[in-house]
A = this chain, B = another copy of it.
Amino acid sequence: MDLKRYMAEKRATVDDALERYMPEPHGPAAALIKAMNYSLFAGGKRLRPILCIAGAEAVGGDAQKVMPVACALELIHTYSLIHDDLPAMDNDDLRRGKPTSHKVFGEAMAILAGDGLLTEAFNMLARLEAPERASSGILKKIISLIATASGWQGMVGGQAVDIQSEGKAIDAAVMDYIHSHKTGALITASVTSGAVLGGGTGMQMDAVGLYGEKIGLAFQIADDILDIEGNAEEMGKGVGGDSKKGKNTFPSVYGLNESKEILNLSIDAAIKSLENFDNKADPLRQIARYIIERKK
Protein backbone atom coordinates (compact mmCIF):
# COMPACT_ATOMS: atom_id res chain seq x y z
CA MET A 1 0.00 0.00 0.00
CA ASP A 2 0.93 3.63 -0.58
CA LEU A 3 0.76 5.42 2.76
CA LYS A 4 1.07 8.88 1.28
CA ARG A 5 -1.97 8.26 -0.92
CA TYR A 6 -3.87 6.57 1.93
CA MET A 7 -3.25 9.56 4.22
CA ALA A 8 -4.16 12.09 1.53
CA GLU A 9 -7.42 10.27 0.80
CA LYS A 10 -8.41 9.88 4.44
CA ARG A 11 -7.43 13.44 5.18
CA ALA A 12 -9.71 14.68 2.39
CA THR A 13 -12.59 12.57 3.76
CA VAL A 14 -12.02 13.95 7.26
CA ASP A 15 -11.83 17.52 5.95
CA ASP A 16 -15.09 17.00 4.07
CA ALA A 17 -16.80 15.69 7.19
CA LEU A 18 -15.42 18.52 9.33
CA GLU A 19 -16.72 21.08 6.87
CA ARG A 20 -20.11 19.39 6.91
CA TYR A 21 -20.24 19.21 10.72
CA MET A 22 -18.91 22.70 11.52
CA PRO A 23 -21.12 25.80 11.32
CA GLU A 24 -20.58 28.69 8.90
CA PRO A 25 -19.62 31.98 10.56
CA HIS A 26 -23.12 33.50 10.58
CA GLY A 27 -25.24 35.11 13.27
CA PRO A 28 -24.21 36.93 16.45
CA ALA A 29 -21.54 34.33 17.32
CA ALA A 30 -19.89 34.61 13.86
CA ALA A 31 -16.58 35.84 15.28
CA LEU A 32 -16.39 32.84 17.64
CA ILE A 33 -17.16 30.38 14.83
CA LYS A 34 -14.54 32.09 12.67
CA ALA A 35 -11.95 31.63 15.41
CA MET A 36 -12.92 27.97 15.89
CA ASN A 37 -12.69 27.27 12.15
CA TYR A 38 -9.45 29.26 11.72
CA SER A 39 -7.54 26.78 13.87
CA LEU A 40 -9.49 23.70 12.81
CA PHE A 41 -8.81 24.34 9.12
CA ALA A 42 -5.21 25.53 9.50
CA GLY A 43 -3.76 22.59 7.60
CA GLY A 44 -3.44 19.89 10.25
CA LYS A 45 -2.37 16.41 9.11
CA ARG A 46 -5.52 14.88 10.71
CA LEU A 47 -3.31 12.17 12.26
CA ARG A 48 -5.76 11.39 15.09
CA PRO A 49 -8.82 11.01 12.82
CA ILE A 50 -6.75 8.88 10.41
CA LEU A 51 -5.59 6.68 13.31
CA CYS A 52 -9.23 6.27 14.35
CA ILE A 53 -10.21 5.25 10.82
CA ALA A 54 -7.20 2.94 10.42
CA GLY A 55 -7.98 1.39 13.84
CA ALA A 56 -11.52 0.61 12.68
CA GLU A 57 -10.32 -0.80 9.36
CA ALA A 58 -7.67 -2.97 11.05
CA VAL A 59 -10.41 -4.95 12.83
CA GLY A 60 -12.64 -5.06 9.73
CA GLY A 61 -14.80 -2.04 10.55
CA ASP A 62 -16.19 0.69 8.29
CA ALA A 63 -14.31 3.99 7.96
CA GLN A 64 -17.40 6.06 7.24
CA LYS A 65 -19.19 4.99 10.42
CA VAL A 66 -16.45 6.31 12.71
CA MET A 67 -16.42 9.78 11.15
CA PRO A 68 -18.14 11.66 14.02
CA VAL A 69 -15.59 10.19 16.45
CA ALA A 70 -12.66 10.84 14.08
CA CYS A 71 -13.76 14.49 13.75
CA ALA A 72 -14.35 14.89 17.49
CA LEU A 73 -10.74 13.80 18.09
CA GLU A 74 -9.50 16.52 15.74
CA LEU A 75 -11.61 19.15 17.54
CA ILE A 76 -10.12 18.11 20.87
CA HIS A 77 -6.60 18.15 19.45
CA THR A 78 -7.18 21.62 17.96
CA TYR A 79 -8.62 23.05 21.17
CA SER A 80 -5.58 21.79 23.07
CA LEU A 81 -3.23 23.54 20.62
CA ILE A 82 -5.12 26.84 20.96
CA HIS A 83 -4.99 26.75 24.76
CA ASP A 84 -1.36 25.51 24.84
CA ASP A 85 -0.29 28.43 22.67
CA LEU A 86 -1.85 31.07 24.97
CA PRO A 87 0.46 33.66 26.57
CA ALA A 88 -0.22 32.17 30.03
CA MET A 89 0.83 28.73 28.75
CA ASP A 90 3.54 28.22 26.08
CA ASN A 91 3.14 31.72 24.60
CA ASP A 92 3.65 30.69 20.99
CA ASP A 93 3.14 33.09 18.08
CA LEU A 94 3.18 30.53 15.28
CA ARG A 95 1.40 27.22 14.73
CA ARG A 96 1.43 25.27 11.48
CA GLY A 97 3.15 28.26 9.92
CA LYS A 98 0.32 30.65 10.79
CA PRO A 99 -0.19 33.16 13.59
CA THR A 100 -1.73 31.45 16.64
CA SER A 101 -5.35 32.03 17.58
CA HIS A 102 -4.74 34.65 20.27
CA LYS A 103 -2.46 36.57 17.90
CA VAL A 104 -5.30 36.85 15.38
CA PHE A 105 -8.41 37.03 17.57
CA GLY A 106 -7.11 38.13 20.97
CA GLU A 107 -6.74 36.10 24.13
CA ALA A 108 -10.37 36.09 25.24
CA MET A 109 -11.63 34.81 21.90
CA ALA A 110 -8.85 32.19 21.74
CA ILE A 111 -9.86 30.82 25.14
CA LEU A 112 -13.50 30.72 24.01
CA ALA A 113 -12.63 29.15 20.64
CA GLY A 114 -10.87 26.35 22.52
CA ASP A 115 -13.81 25.94 24.90
CA GLY A 116 -16.19 25.90 21.95
CA LEU A 117 -14.22 23.23 20.07
CA LEU A 118 -13.92 21.00 23.15
CA THR A 119 -17.65 21.24 23.83
CA GLU A 120 -18.57 20.69 20.18
CA ALA A 121 -16.41 17.56 20.12
CA PHE A 122 -18.83 15.89 22.52
CA ASN A 123 -21.79 17.15 20.54
CA MET A 124 -20.23 15.40 17.54
CA LEU A 125 -19.92 12.15 19.51
CA ALA A 126 -23.65 12.30 20.11
CA ARG A 127 -24.14 12.04 16.31
CA LEU A 128 -22.62 8.59 16.35
CA GLU A 129 -24.78 5.85 14.88
CA ALA A 130 -23.57 3.08 17.16
CA PRO A 131 -24.24 -0.53 16.14
CA GLU A 132 -27.69 -1.71 17.15
CA ARG A 133 -26.54 -4.25 19.73
CA ALA A 134 -25.46 -2.69 23.01
CA SER A 135 -25.43 0.71 21.36
CA SER A 136 -25.67 2.62 24.62
CA GLY A 137 -22.74 0.63 26.00
CA ILE A 138 -20.57 1.44 22.99
CA LEU A 139 -21.42 5.14 23.04
CA LYS A 140 -20.63 5.28 26.78
CA LYS A 141 -17.37 3.44 26.22
CA ILE A 142 -16.29 5.84 23.46
CA ILE A 143 -17.20 8.96 25.46
CA SER A 144 -15.50 7.66 28.57
CA LEU A 145 -12.40 6.60 26.61
CA ILE A 146 -12.04 9.98 24.90
CA ALA A 147 -12.93 12.11 27.95
CA THR A 148 -10.50 10.15 30.12
CA ALA A 149 -7.71 10.50 27.54
CA SER A 150 -8.39 14.25 27.17
CA GLY A 151 -9.03 15.34 30.75
CA TRP A 152 -7.23 15.39 34.09
CA GLN A 153 -6.29 11.72 33.75
CA GLY A 154 -4.84 12.36 30.30
CA MET A 155 -3.95 15.34 28.14
CA VAL A 156 -4.93 18.16 30.54
CA GLY A 157 -3.12 16.33 33.36
CA GLY A 158 0.03 15.99 31.25
CA GLN A 159 -0.08 19.66 30.28
CA ALA A 160 -0.51 20.70 33.94
CA VAL A 161 2.53 18.69 35.03
CA ASP A 162 4.48 20.03 32.04
CA ILE A 163 3.70 23.64 32.98
CA GLN A 164 4.65 23.00 36.61
CA SER A 165 7.93 21.36 35.59
CA GLU A 166 9.14 24.14 33.30
CA GLY A 167 12.60 25.34 34.27
CA LYS A 168 12.97 22.55 36.83
CA ALA A 169 15.11 19.42 36.53
CA ILE A 170 12.78 16.42 36.39
CA ASP A 171 13.47 12.71 36.51
CA ALA A 172 12.63 10.18 33.83
CA ALA A 173 9.41 9.11 35.61
CA VAL A 174 7.90 12.61 35.50
CA MET A 175 9.14 13.02 31.92
CA ASP A 176 7.38 9.79 30.94
CA TYR A 177 4.22 10.92 32.74
CA ILE A 178 4.13 14.23 30.88
CA HIS A 179 4.63 12.66 27.46
CA SER A 180 2.37 9.66 27.87
CA HIS A 181 -0.41 11.97 29.10
CA LYS A 182 0.06 15.17 27.16
CA THR A 183 0.37 13.59 23.71
CA GLY A 184 0.21 9.83 24.06
CA ALA A 185 -3.19 9.48 25.70
CA LEU A 186 -5.23 11.08 22.89
CA ILE A 187 -3.24 9.24 20.19
CA THR A 188 -3.89 5.94 21.97
CA ALA A 189 -7.58 6.84 22.37
CA SER A 190 -7.78 7.67 18.65
CA VAL A 191 -6.75 4.22 17.50
CA THR A 192 -8.56 2.31 20.27
CA SER A 193 -11.84 4.19 19.80
CA GLY A 194 -11.68 3.26 16.12
CA ALA A 195 -11.11 -0.39 17.01
CA VAL A 196 -14.00 -0.36 19.51
CA LEU A 197 -16.34 1.04 16.87
CA GLY A 198 -15.01 -1.37 14.27
CA GLY A 199 -16.07 -4.26 16.49
CA GLY A 200 -12.63 -5.42 17.65
CA THR A 201 -12.40 -8.51 19.90
CA GLY A 202 -10.82 -8.34 23.37
CA MET A 203 -7.46 -9.59 22.10
CA GLN A 204 -7.53 -7.18 19.18
CA MET A 205 -8.30 -4.32 21.56
CA ASP A 206 -5.30 -5.21 23.73
CA ALA A 207 -3.02 -5.29 20.70
CA VAL A 208 -4.31 -2.01 19.31
CA GLY A 209 -4.06 -0.43 22.78
CA LEU A 210 -0.38 -1.41 22.98
CA TYR A 211 0.17 -0.12 19.44
CA GLY A 212 -1.41 3.20 20.42
CA GLU A 213 0.73 3.53 23.53
CA LYS A 214 3.94 2.88 21.60
CA ILE A 215 3.24 5.25 18.74
CA GLY A 216 2.03 7.92 21.18
CA LEU A 217 5.40 7.76 22.89
CA ALA A 218 7.27 7.61 19.57
CA PHE A 219 5.36 10.62 18.25
CA GLN A 220 6.40 12.82 21.16
CA ILE A 221 10.05 11.70 21.05
CA ALA A 222 10.14 12.39 17.30
CA ASP A 223 8.64 15.83 17.97
CA ASP A 224 11.29 16.61 20.57
CA ILE A 225 14.06 15.48 18.20
CA LEU A 226 12.56 17.58 15.39
CA ASP A 227 12.65 20.59 17.71
CA ILE A 228 16.46 20.15 17.79
CA GLU A 229 17.24 18.83 14.31
CA GLY A 230 14.38 20.10 12.18
CA ASN A 231 13.98 23.46 10.52
CA ALA A 232 11.23 25.98 10.99
CA GLU A 233 9.81 25.40 7.52
CA GLU A 234 9.27 21.66 8.08
CA MET A 235 7.79 22.22 11.52
CA GLY A 236 5.64 25.23 10.73
CA LYS A 237 6.68 26.76 14.03
CA GLY A 238 9.79 28.07 15.73
CA VAL A 239 12.61 25.55 16.27
CA GLY A 240 14.67 25.15 19.43
CA GLY A 241 11.74 26.66 21.35
CA ASP A 242 11.64 23.86 23.90
CA SER A 243 15.15 24.42 25.23
CA LYS A 244 14.72 28.21 25.16
CA LYS A 245 11.70 27.82 27.44
CA GLY A 246 13.48 25.38 29.77
CA LYS A 247 11.06 22.66 28.64
CA ASN A 248 11.89 19.13 29.63
CA THR A 249 12.17 17.00 26.51
CA PHE A 250 13.30 13.44 25.82
CA PRO A 251 16.69 14.62 24.56
CA SER A 252 17.17 16.88 27.61
CA VAL A 253 16.48 14.00 29.99
CA TYR A 254 17.85 10.98 28.07
CA GLY A 255 20.28 12.60 25.62
CA LEU A 256 19.78 12.70 21.85
CA ASN A 257 21.20 9.27 20.99
CA GLU A 258 19.29 7.36 23.63
CA SER A 259 16.13 9.25 22.62
CA LYS A 260 16.57 8.04 19.05
CA GLU A 261 17.05 4.50 20.32
CA ILE A 262 13.86 4.65 22.42
CA LEU A 263 12.06 6.02 19.37
CA ASN A 264 13.17 3.08 17.19
CA LEU A 265 12.33 0.51 19.87
CA SER A 266 8.86 2.04 20.33
CA ILE A 267 8.13 1.84 16.60
CA ASP A 268 9.30 -1.79 16.47
CA ALA A 269 7.13 -2.65 19.47
CA ALA A 270 4.13 -0.89 17.89
CA ILE A 271 4.47 -2.90 14.68
CA LYS A 272 5.10 -6.16 16.56
CA SER A 273 1.89 -5.68 18.58
CA LEU A 274 -0.05 -6.07 15.31
CA GLU A 275 1.57 -9.38 14.28
CA ASN A 276 -1.70 -11.32 14.46
CA PHE A 277 -3.50 -8.85 12.18
CA ASP A 278 -3.82 -9.34 8.41
CA ASN A 279 -3.08 -6.74 5.75
CA LYS A 280 -6.06 -4.61 6.83
CA ALA A 281 -3.67 -3.38 9.55
CA ASP A 282 -1.06 -2.25 7.01
CA PRO A 283 -2.04 1.43 7.33
CA LEU A 284 -1.42 1.24 11.09
CA ARG A 285 1.96 -0.46 10.48
CA GLN A 286 2.99 2.17 7.96
CA ILE A 287 1.80 5.08 10.09
CA ALA A 288 4.16 3.79 12.80
CA ARG A 289 7.06 3.91 10.34
CA TYR A 290 5.95 7.33 9.09
CA ILE A 291 6.50 8.75 12.58
CA ILE A 292 10.24 8.06 12.21
CA GLU A 293 10.26 9.33 8.62
CA ARG A 294 8.95 12.68 9.87
CA LYS A 295 12.28 13.43 11.49
CA LYS A 296 14.17 13.31 8.20
What residues make up the interface of A, taking CB atoms closer than 8 Å to B? 23, 28-29, 31-33, 36, 79, 83, 86, 88-89, 106-109, 111-112, 114-116, 118-120, 122-123, 125-126, 128, 130, 135-136, 139-141, 143-144, 147-148, 150-153, 156-157, 159-161, 163-164, 174, 177, 181
Q: Are B157 and A32 in contact (CB under 8 A)?
A: yes
Which of B112, B143, B153 has a CB less than 8 Å from the CB of A126? B143
Give the nearest-CB partner of A140 in chain B.
Answer: B126
Does B32 lie within 8 Å of A156, measured CB to CB? yes
Known interface pairs A143-B143, A147-B123. Does A160 touch B118 (Cβ–Cβ under 8 Å)? Answer: no
Give me 27 A-to-B residue pairs in the complex whose CB atoms sit less than 8 angstroms apart, sorted by A's number: A23-B152, A28-B174, A28-B177, A29-B157, A29-B181, A31-B160, A31-B164, A32-B152, A32-B161, A83-B111, A108-B163, A109-B164, A114-B115, A115-B118, A115-B151, A116-B151, A116-B152, A120-B151, A122-B143, A123-B148, A123-B151, A126-B141, A126-B143, A135-B136, A136-B136, A139-B140, A143-B143
Name the residue among A33, A114, A122 with the largest chain B CB count within 10 angstroms.
A122
Residues of chain B lying within 8 A (CB to CB) of residue A156: 32, 112, 115-116, 119
| Chain B neighbourhood of A32, CB < 8 A | 152, 156-157, 160-161
5 closest A-B pairs by CB = A119-B151, A88-B107, A123-B147, A29-B157, A32-B160
Residues of B within 8 A of A143 (CB): 122-123, 125-126, 143
Residue of B nearest to A146 (CB): B122
- Residue in contact with A112 in the complex, picked from B23, B108, B141, B160, CB distance below 8 Å: B160
Determine the chain B residues whose CB is within 8 A of the CB of A89 once the complex forms: 108, 111
Cα distance A247–B174 in the bound complex, in angstroms? 44
Give the one of A88, A130, A177, A181 with max B CB within 10 A.
Answer: A88
In the assembled complex, the Cα of A36 lies from the Cα of B128 at a distance in Å of 30
Chain B nearest Cβ from A275, distance in angstroms: 32
A76 to B89, alpha carbons, bound, how many Å? 22
Closest beta carbon of chain B to A217's beta carbon, Å:
16
Distance from A118 Cβ to chain B, minimum over Cβ atoms (Å): 6
By a CB distance below 8 angstroms, the chain B residues around A109 are: 160, 163-164
A163: chain B residues at CB < 8 Å are 108-109, 112
Minimum CB–CB distance from A136 to chain B (whole Å) comes to 4
User: What residue in chain B is nearest A33 (Cβ atoms)?
Assistant: B152
A140 partner residues in chain B, CB cutoff 8 A: 126, 128, 139
Query: What's the Cα separation between A120 and B144 when bound, in Å?
Result: 9
Distance in angstroms from A266 CB to nearest chain B CB is 21
Given A109-B164, A135-B136, A139-B139; 8 other pairs, CB 8 A cutoff: A29-B152, A29-B157, A32-B157, A88-B106, A119-B152, A122-B122, A123-B144, A136-B139
Q: With A89-B111, A130-B136, A152-B32 given, is the CB distance from A147 to B159 under 8 Å?
A: no
